[in-house]
Chains A and B, each alone.
Chain A
């Protein structure tokens, strides 16, 4: 037999590099900067590849009376047109509940809803041909606002409540009761890489799908269903996405389905790449919410009870809205003990594109309502908002707040019955208010504002407590597959997808840690449904929690075989085998240590017929939730953080700038501090964008007017705070046994952007000596801020 391979000997006899806890670089960084990282649209096209364009409804709500596609058919390059009649299998591709037809049969429910699809020889030909369709509609009255949907009780899913204690009684017993309503718009994901799928028909009547999706398994299942074939005939691969943010959790599947249908009919490879305009019009966004609160509190601002309503604008179909509005409800307390609370969530149906997952998944719309409430309580009492926030934090006990039996209320139970076990925020906020010099700056800002004619500064500290776990229990599982090769190199594959968040490098670091080998010996491969099956979406911030643990499980299984073999080889017990410094170390009975380089060891193990690969699996423990009672422990743990934003507002124009931001985030024991800080910085800016410049504007008949980057403004480089300080909370491992006691980081810091919005309101409020909380919806565009200025001036004139 030929020699297996030349292995490196003892060069790596030193602590392994790139284990967890080190700031390793994103695994694709060098390829990304060189332009060699391959995205779906960059894959060399197979000969005969066809290109897709889709014709969508021109009305928000209408019946199709007739459809004449003859001109489309005759257009240059057009090879195939399909309508819903050409779908061999399922025609509804709703991810959880029905409501999302792959192509509309008769009733159109939003402008842009797909009606027919064409495949042409080039992308340009397909785009040009699609406009030639002649479709006659019978217009129906659309519902375009939450207000109308609420009035008509027009919902995509039933209304649901959480209740703790008697909120109404608490309100009537309270010294102070205030209320407000608030509207926050949705948000376009604006992943830089638009939605795309390329499919290739296989010899087995199946489909190979290359897609930019956070949920390959769902793509696989839906493609199989629309084609009416078994799931095992469809393979889905996702190497990387050019951004996801939730927008590719359910929204990637329609492209794969439509491309597969066209490939099925033409027997040719098909690529469906959406133009930016189509992507913005035809795919879902963050839910807009119309929320209101009524809160009772005492002279110290301590909340006695609250009634909060959150009404999400779900668009035309349920999609994920049930869980999204649930999460808004779960987070309507944010970090504060509401005591007696009734929280009700409405799932409003509108004739707009179905709203979908977006970083935070409804949580941000709940959290901002709680923060609005805190600011309003503070100004009502003439206190600094930070003082009121701190008093109301979970776990902060007050001597005056007692239970019926006379004992001090621990104030740590949420309105859905979960106890906040690891109380991080009181200490975290205390560290942040000191490091950010909150109180000193507060005084300086007051001085500045008193002596500045029209430029006003604002300051706000807002915390975040975010529940980690899918609230749908079965999704809290993951699988992984690890291969060790005979040169000591390792391949790891898992069900999570890489969208820029650094999941692949974190999981690779977990593997490096388990075998105590250098990170550069580990190759992460593309996520594929034929490597790890039945995966959950990479969502809910769960990627490294779930897949890191699954990969670790696979490593442990491989190691078990290796350890058994090594113990037998060296005549010692299994507990005397360890992995260290790129070696396997056996301590013999006489105490002698035998160090074998990892590569050499794997060769020997292979020759001794030891299995060197394994799958791994993980399921999150402890979680349970009874939706009927609205009680349970939906979250394994909470991730926490807080931010301080300082802004300056021009009260003549409403324009503003975020000048300084300080953030302290709890990520447990970080798997990779650099990646985590990158997530936090990016999330803050994305959250700030949601609440400032990102303004979705719809026409009166339901057409999206802000349908491109010329009219929809995500933050640009100059919107980065001049002084931007991000730190990780130190020496605070997760109390729960997560992967090396780390905590999720993807979504929680998104809500740190709320402090920018709160600071804008603070700046305007300064015009009324902080005694008035100006109404200010979100996003706080310059126009919206100027309206808040106008309201404040009116208040001053009237008082």
Chain B
């Protein structure tokens, strides 16, 4: 049986199809049709709801895509849907601001927008105003086709000026005690919500064919997009030991089921370039559910974390019935969607060596759209520069091959060379030695190679001009002037001029 709160009321379910999504459950079992299906793939945000987790006696709410969240993942949580926010005609500030700023037209995306704005409102101290950057971040997973977003941004900016929240009781239900393994079943199969690794191992020992789900942000697409059924499902997103984030003298260690959102703080402290990537990695709702371990285990050639982790020389800890082992991530991928992971095994943790002095990390994602898109190319490069020479280099590439991997020829062209644009330009010429990418819906092979070369050049320019604005996604002003940007490819040119 799983138990959770729905708009403040405790609900228990035991007879449930194992791959039942939260959205389907809300609409068909609870007649809560305010939450909409726009795409069924977690790309539009119309299905956004808030999921609360209890930490240190307090509920913390985040927006998630209910269309790609399984009900099994909700065990022990507190769900809030759009219907619960208003108290009769008294609207939540997010709702009232949207009405006053004309933020809805067709209204179909609106409930999802409201939930994202509510998460922003509720998670920000009352005296703080939002920056444009924070507003973009909160709404990065909500598509609107009618308004062009301007009135929605205006609503976000103004909602703090409304009197506080209404209906306080829905936000703070009393906690429940976890039920045994959160097991549900029906004639089609079973699902579990494991609370400890030993529970997980026990379930896997009896059901080695059970699909392990942490965030479900990719796995759920099998159900919602490919009409496949998952008859055995074990959710690991409530296992505390898999969500721990720690650091010691040598490593930053991230639990395999820690959400990408949970990783933000530690990455910001140690690898701000990686933290910055997360903004383009996926939308806020996806980062709230999706995990670093899932992104690795999923083994997609266009997953964004693996190339960066390869460039950072990360290791992963694999756990299973036969005990635990650490392996370097760059040995994990065997072929397209094939890894070292055996049936019944899971990624327990990821550890990243601490950064050394004189090490530069540059991470780039190229996609058609800046927010919530999938990489055409992901390039990560770590270079150590001492006395104007490159003394160490490590790369990781996504979208360039069947697996995420380093570029050996590119690295060879950089090592022990002077830290100049010319060096990186020459290294770029090696791109087609390392990679023979595909042409697909996201980009042609030619573009992937050329953009790799362009990004290597840009990496050099950024290292040599650390104060300059060099990426369009970082521009939040209309007053950018020549003094803010890189003026020339070659500093020598300036001297000669």
Contact = CB atoms under 8 A, between A and B. Distances in A.
A722 B366 contact: no
B225 A242 contact: no
Interface stretch (A60-68, A382-390, A452-460): A452-460
Contact of B487 (A453, A650, A652, A675): A453
A455 B225 CA distance: 39
Interface residues of A, number: 98
A682 B147 contact: yes
**Of listed A189, A454, A693, A717, residue having the most chain B CB within 10 A:** A717
What is the predominant secondary structure among interface residues of chain B facing chain A?
Answer: loop
Nearest to A651: B454
A710 B108 CA distance: 19
A435 to B, nearest CB: 15
A28 interface: yes
Nearest to B279: A718
B102 A718 contact: no
Contacts of A25: 99-100, 102
Contacts of B326: none
A131 B227 contact: yes
Interface residues of B, number: 100
A99 interface: no
Interface stretch (A577-585, A608-616, A655-663): A655-663
B127 interface: no
A710 B43 contact: yes
Given A243-B145, A722-B478, A786-B451, A191 B106 contact: yes
Contacts of B139: 717
Interface string B86-108: 10010100111011101111111
A711 B442 contact: yes
Interface string A468-510: 0000000000000000000000000000000111100000000
A799 to B, nearest CB: 21
Given A34-B83, A36-B34, A655 B366 contact: yes
A241 interface: yes
A26 B105 CA distance: 7
Given A34-B86, A709-B143, A657 B102 contact: no
Given A654-B451, A709-B39, A722-B477, A678 B102 contact: yes
A696 to B, nearest CB: 10
A131 B226 CA distance: 10
A189 B108 CA distance: 14
Contacts of B455: 652-653
Given A500-B105, A678-B151, A682-B105, A33 B95 contact: yes
Contact of B488 (A42, A453, A648, A786): A453
Contacts of A715: 148-149, 369
Contacts of B82: 33-35
B152 interface: yes
Contacts of A781: 368
Interface string B107-140: 1111100100000000000000000100110011
B213 interface: no
**Of listed B85, B94, B136, B149, residue having the most chain A CB within 10 A:** B149
A720 B106 contact: no
Given A128-B227, A685-B149, A786-B450, A453 B489 contact: yes
Contacts of B38: 192-194, 276, 709
B143 A714 contact: yes
Contacts of A726: 150
A44 B31 contact: yes
Nearest to B115: A35
A37 B109 CA distance: 12
Interface stretch (B202-210, B370-378, B390-398, B402-410): B370-378
Given A657-B475, A716-B371, A716-B372, A705 B440 contact: yes
A193 B36 contact: yes
A715 B144 CA distance: 8
A230 interface: no
A445 to B, nearest CB: 11
A41 interface: yes
A302 B361 CA distance: 54
Contacts of B488: 453
10 contacts: A33-B91, A34-B86, A44-B31, A240-B107, A243-B106, A655-B473, A660-B478, A715-B369, A716-B149, A722-B477
Given A30-B95, A33-B114, 8 more contacts: A191-B108, A192-B38, A243-B146, A500-B105, A675-B102, A682-B105, A693-B368, A706-B441
4 closest A-B pairs by beta carbon, nearest first, are A35-B34, A500-B106, A242-B108, A32-B107
